[in-house]
Amino acid sequence: MKNKKFVLKNIRNKKRNSYAKSTIKTLLKKINIYKKNNELNNDHIIKIQSYIDKKSNKNIINKNKASRIKSKIMKLKNNI
């Protein structure tokens, strides 16, 4: 019974983590599209940075990866 619970928990966590990671990829793609169309503003940046921080605090993504992503976003913003 114990192993079954751990297996079910791992499956549940894997789904949650993969959803979060794919959402981050989607948000990054949207940021690039906004930049190409000159529609990138602080609201978009704040939204994705807060999402990344939340997932980093829950250890879904590594804190160093989160800081790399946020740095990449700020470079895009500053190059407008």
Banded model confidence at residue 53, pLDDT cuts 50, 70, 90: very high
Residues sharing a CB contact under 8 Å with residue 60, sequence separation 6 or more, in sequence order = 16, 17, 20, 21
List the domains of the chain with CATH numbers.
2-78 (1.20.58)
pLDDT at 78: 87
Which of 29-33, 40-44, 51-55 comes out lowest in average pLDDT?
A: 40-44
Banded model confidence at residue 80, pLDDT cuts 50, 70, 90: low
Cα torsion 38, 21, 19, 61: sign = negative
CA–CA dist 22, 26 (Å, integer):
6
- SS3 (DSSP) at 58: coil
Banded model confidence at residue 41, pLDDT cuts 50, 70, 90: confident
Average of per-residue pLDDT across 57-75: 94
